[in-house]
Chains A and B, each alone.
Chain A
Amino acid sequence: MAITQCSLFLMNQPGQLVDAVGAISAAGANIRAMSISEANDFGILRAIITEPERICAELKDRFLITRTPVVAAKMDDRSGALFPILEVLNKANINIEYMYAFTGTGPEEAYVVLRVNDPENAESVLNAAGIGTLSDDNLTL
């Protein structure tokens, strides 16, 4: 089961990011991982947040926010650990739109967040290759 990423459309202007993060903070959620991509006028803040459903519902009147299923693949926090994950996806002919990573709470534990066209298929080929993936339920671990 894929995890839920929250994406926020923000203008590329001072004050926008602090507003968004302030709202997430006020809602009492924890941002486990995030990345920002920018264009001339706007940027997209993508974040793995605890309780994504509730946060999206609470923020949707103030921000343009959407939920996207992404795959969070577990890996060791050591050199060479990312390679087998990408290799498995490549063999299954799965395209990666974008990715970012965060470290886990356990020792030498890390996760790579993958935005792919077919998250269900990506997850099953990863799992079949012995690579663990996160679900929303065990995100807070």
Chain B
Amino acid sequence: MKVKKRNSEVEQNSEDRILNDLFRHKLENAEVTPSASTGTRLMRRVAMREFLRFNPARVNIWYAGAVAAAGAAIAIILASDPSTENKTTEPEPVEISRDVPVISKSDKIINTGDPENRNTRENKSAREELEIQETAIRNSGNEPIQKMRFDSEGAGKVSIPAAEAMHEVTDMGDRKIRLFAGDGSYMNASVTQGCAPLQVSFRCMAAAYDSCLWRFGDGGHSSAGNPVWLFDIEGEYKVTLTVYSSGMVHNSSVMITVHPKPEARFEVICENNVDSDDEILFRNYSEGAQRFNWDFGDGNGSGVFEPRHKYSRDGNYTVRLIAISEYGCADSMVIENAFTASSCFIEFPNAFIPNPNGPSGGYYSPKSDEASHIFHPVFSGVSDYQLRIFTRRGVMIFESNDINYGWDGYYQGRLCDPGVYVWKVRGNFINSTTFTRMGDVTLIKN
């Protein structure tokens, strides 16, 4: 550590303030857009919490529903299993010799059970209907896009760069549109419609004038002769030009249409362990777009809204989506090396309790109870793997080349002593990066 000198402390303080101010000014209110799945995941979590929360206001809906469902379940069990029901009730009536009331009782149960049963069935069918409606809505959203995909595939274009799509529009607008209305307009706009942000160069065509005033319809104005204005919000703007010339005032106007810019957004959904022949789902969160051009980075593409794609080889791929709106406005998003960061990881716990009842061989599936007794990583996107475990003295006591086999805590059939063991792992991720990790694990006996 450096020993601070007293005389430089004042200087140091002002310097610190500058550093602090830098971070404060830049980051205090900095905004970062969360990835789209965060919102949906959050809402799912909140919905779950809401459901579990005891809410007196909703007792009627949820709890009545639960009671009805439970009642119906009991009724179904009773109704579907009359033989066992009879067996248990039979001895009693024989003894007491009162057959009739008992039978009527059980009848009653079934009777009361029935309307509830019907209720739940109705509920269920209603829910099903809802689901069908929902999927119908979803489908109807997808359908036109799917149709379009065939169009675009038919055209054989895999990726239209965003610039090209933009170009068409500007081209169209570049035909200088002269606006000479009946009474003679003095203005000329380079473009009258286009995608936001739209830059338009205006020219005042009057031969001689004292002054002129442009009003751009979005609150902006200019008194320059040939202003250039940027419309960054979509909408229709009435641009007026007022020319003052030797006591005369002349107004002319033009409509500028700014089309909304679509927003291309997507995420790569890569569930746990990705093999090279797994299909990968691309989630599309684009807004305001109708056509989509996907470039998966391996030479293949798609025009589907949410495509699935199989990569024939592992590797780093750069995925690109171009979203095009009905007006031909385009936006693109690129994820470079899409299969590195989140989809490929390997993490080890730092302690585990082996099964005291004997060696298990080390095979585990993440869902089984046995998994908790075995030292193994959580991982995603691992292709090659070698795990070695050593004692503190450096004796290798375990080696595995299969990620599905972990260490069960036994060495030569005997349970190892509790304590710290050292592990080392080497391997490759599917994106062909290698990893080497080392660490320690504490074996605990209970």
A and B are partners in one complex rather than unrelated chains: no
Binding site for A on B (CB under 8 A): none
Binding site for B on A (CB under 8 A): none
